[in-house]
Amino acid sequence: MGGRTAPPEWLAARPVETLRLARSAARTPSISPARLDNACHVDVEVVAPSGKSCGTATFPAAQSGQFCSSGLFVGYDGTAVVGSVEDTGGGFRTFTFRWWTAFLR
C-alpha cells in the first residue's frame, strides 16, 4: 500500500464535506455541508484541477427546527439531487428528493 500525501492547498482551504467526480476530469464539484443562514442551503463549488473556482451553485435544503436536514449528491452526469428526511411522528419518516437534471454539466 502506498503512503498518504497531503491534499492540495486549494482543497485544504475549503470547508468541503464531499468531492464528486464530474463527467469531465476538467472540473470537480465540491459539496459544502448544509447550513442555515437566512434559509437552509447547500453550496456546490465547481473547481478546476488547478484549484481555480469555476463558480458556485446554491441549492435549497430542508430545515428541521434550528438545523438543516438535507444532503446533496451529484451524479456522474451532473444531476444534483437534494434529499431530506422529516420525522412525522409515531416512528414514521418522510423522505423527499428534489433534483436538477444535468445541472453541473
Closest CA relative to residue 14, chosen from 45, 39, 37: 45
Provide φ and ψ at 87, rounded to 5°. -80, 115
Q: Count the helix, strand and coil residues of the chain and give each as a percent rounded to the nearest 5.
A: 5, 50, 45
Q: Residue ranges of the chain with pLDDT lower than 50?
A: none
Provide CB contacts within 8 A for 19, sequence distance 6+. 11, 28, 29, 30, 31
Say what the pTM is.
Answer: 0.66
pLDDT recorded at residue 92? 86
Identify the pLDDT of residue 87.
76
User: 70-74 and 67-68 as β-strands: parallel, antiparallel, unpaired?
Assistant: unpaired
Question: d(Cα 19, Cα 31) in Å, to the nearest integer?
Answer: 6
Query: Given this model, what pLDDT does residue 26 score?
Result: 55
Pick left, alpha or beta for residue 55 (phi over 0 → left; psi -120 to 50 → alpha; otherwise beta). Answer: left
